[in-house]
């Protein structure tokens, strides 16, 4: 732990949160190797410090260290920036130029916002990671480089892979050793430590007394979610230091500087929409059919149970509407507590039950059910396809296609 404290002092890291200490420890442990590292965390959490720790504790510490913000370089010039270009390779290339991978040979390259790299550049980067080879833009000569790559991202790369914005093979190459930097909202009392550090720094910079917080303002500080993390905390501390004349800041004043302050931190329930719930409109129709079939089966089961227990006035030859009316309207429903004895059961009822079992046999073909529903919808709306499609929950174009497919009159 003493080594971690020395590293914090050397690199200006404030805080004692266990997740922060763990991230520092991993960075120190992986530094002597040449493994690629992927640093993940929200924007503004201070991810840029960890590549410096890794570089300075590695055998490459005397080599070149280059930090590249991939999101800040235009897509048309990113290949030239990283791998260099030959004279005349594109408009404006009046001279040959070395790229970062050539300049940093023997050192370390930090690729911040690596998820913003174009797919074509990702292919080039993958080749460097696998073989140490690259080709300048406009050249056919393969060059070698010995560079350690450390990358960082503030987005969910797995979602980028799913949407085909980031190569899966490149992700696994970069993610040999993952480091997760915790967001500020999870670091508890570290928030107050950082606030005091920034307050003292700005007091010295602007030659004024340092601001401090009363007890209520401190609770506001600790309860805020800090979406902008350390960067946001630093900016707000500087604003208050410059603008407010009173050096002791109360809760109301602090709240006025915090956008969308909610008072308490509550877990947010996020429901991810499943875009694969229904692959097509046909699957929606199938689901409706299955639900209807289940409802009919439940109704049949209920009728048989009621017959066994002795409901008067219930006849299996009745239509569904008549059965429902007799079962659920109080005037037609008379329940016998005592079950009907076998002697009281008339043979006609047994025959009716047997006949009903034969009648209720129905086709389980989904196509037949779909055709039946389409015909009923067309009959209901007198052949008007637009209204029939709306009734079925499908588009008019889909309905027209199905009519042709099933040759429905």
Are both 391 and 288 inside the same structural domain? yes
Are both 46 and 168 inside the same structural domain? yes
Are both 161 and 241 inside the same structural domain? no
The residue range of the domain holding 239 is: 185-256
* Per-residue pLDDT tens digits for 328-348: 554 444 444 444 444 444 444
List own/partner pairs for 216-222 with CB under 8 A and 24 or more apart: 216/250, 216/251, 217/249, 217/250, 217/251, 217/253, 217/254, 218/192, 219/251, 220/251, 220/254, 220/255, 220/258, 220/261, 221/191, 221/192, 221/195, 221/254, 222/188, 222/189, 222/191, 222/192
> Residues in the chain, how many?
409
Q: Who's near 288: CB < 8 A, 6+ residues apart?
A: 393
How far apart are alpha carbons 53 and 24 in whole angstroms?
Answer: 8
Residue 100 vs residues 70, 115, 122: alpha-carbon distances, Å: 12, 18, 15
**H or E element that contains 401:** helix 396-406
pLDDT value of position 345: 43
Residue 302 vs residues 229, 292, 356: alpha-carbon distances, Å: 60, 15, 14
**Is 198 domain-assigned?**
yes
Model confidence at 257, in pLDDT bands (50, 70, 90)? very high
Query: How high is the mean pLDDT of the chain?
Result: 83
Are both 301 and 356 inside the same structural domain? yes
Mean pLDDT of 118-145: 94
Number of structural domains in the chain: 3
Model confidence at 384, in pLDDT bands (50, 70, 90)? confident
**H or E element that contains 135:** strand 133-135
**Is 274 domain-assigned?**
no
Residue 125 in this model has a pLDDT that exceeds 90: yes
Are both 77 and 156 inside the same structural domain? yes
pLDDT value of position 76: 86
* Per-residue pLDDT tens digits for 268-327: 444 444 444 444 555 666 667 767 777 777 777 777 766 666 655 555 555 555 656 655
Say which DSSP state 137 is in.
Answer: B
pLDDT value of position 353: 44
Q: What CATH code is carried by the domain that includes residue 250? A: 1.10.8.60
pLDDT value of position 279: 44
Query: Rounded to a whole number, what is the distance in angstroms from the first to the last CA of the chain?
Result: 81
Q: At what angle do helices 190-206 and 229-243 cross, to 10 degrees?
A: 40
Are both 113 and 62 inside the same structural domain? yes
Greater model confidence, 211 or 372: 211
pLDDT value of position 374: 86
Are both 49 and 33 inside the same structural domain? yes
**Is 269 domain-assigned?**
no
SS3 67: strand
């Amino acid at each position: 732990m003493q080594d971690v404290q020395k590293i914090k002092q050397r690199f200006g890291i404030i805080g004692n949160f266990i997740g922060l200490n763990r991230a520092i420890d991993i960075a120190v442990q992986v530094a002597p190797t040449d493994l690629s590292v992927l640093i993940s965390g929200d924007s503004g959490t201070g991810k840029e410090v960890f590549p410096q720790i890794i570089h300075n504790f590695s055998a490459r510490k005397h080599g070149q260290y280059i930090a590249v913000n991939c999101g800040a370089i235009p897509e048309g010039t990113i290949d030239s920036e990283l791998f260099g270009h030959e004279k005349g390779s594109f408009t404006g290339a009046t001279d040959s130029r070395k790229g970062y991978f050539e300049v940093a040979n023997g050192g370390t390259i930090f690729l911040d916002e690596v998820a913003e790299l174009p797919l074509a550049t990702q292919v080039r980067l993958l080749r460097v990671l696998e073989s140490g080879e690259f080709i300048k833009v406009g050249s056919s000569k393969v060059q070698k480089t010995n560079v350690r790559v450390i990358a960082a991202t503030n987005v969910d790369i797995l979602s980028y892979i799913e949407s085909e914005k980031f190569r899966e093979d490149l992700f696994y190459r970069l993610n040999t050793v993952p480091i997760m930097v915790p967001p500020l909202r999870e670091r508890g009392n570290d928030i107050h430590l950082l606030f005091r550090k920034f307050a003292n720094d700005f007091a010295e910079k602007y030659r004024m007394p340092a601001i401090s917080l009363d007890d209520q303002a401190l609770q506001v500080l600790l309860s805020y979610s800090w979406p902008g993390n350390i960067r946001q905390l630093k900016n707000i501390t500087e604003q208050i230091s410059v603008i407010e004349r009173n050096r002791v800041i109360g809760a109301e004043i602090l709240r006025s500087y915090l956008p969308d302050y909610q008072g308490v931190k509550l877990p947010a329930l996020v429901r991810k929409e499943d875009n694969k719930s229904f692959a097509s409109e046909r699957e929606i129709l199938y689901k409706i059919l299955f639900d209807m079939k289940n409802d009919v089966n439940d109704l049949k089961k209920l009728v048989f149970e009621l017959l066994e227990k002795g409901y008067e006035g219930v006849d299996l030859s009745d239509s569904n509407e008549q059965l429902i009316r007799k079962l659920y309207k109080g005037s037609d429903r008379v329940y016998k507590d005592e079950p009907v004895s076998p002697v009281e059961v008339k043979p006609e009822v047994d025959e009716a039950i047997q006949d009903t079992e034969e009648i209720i046999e129905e086709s389980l073909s989904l196509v037949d059910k779909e055709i039946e529903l389409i015909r009923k919808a067309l009959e209901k709306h007198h052949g008007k396809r637009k209204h029939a499609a709306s009734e079925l929950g499908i588009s008019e174009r889909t309905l027209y296609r199905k009519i042709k497919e099933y040759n429905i009159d």
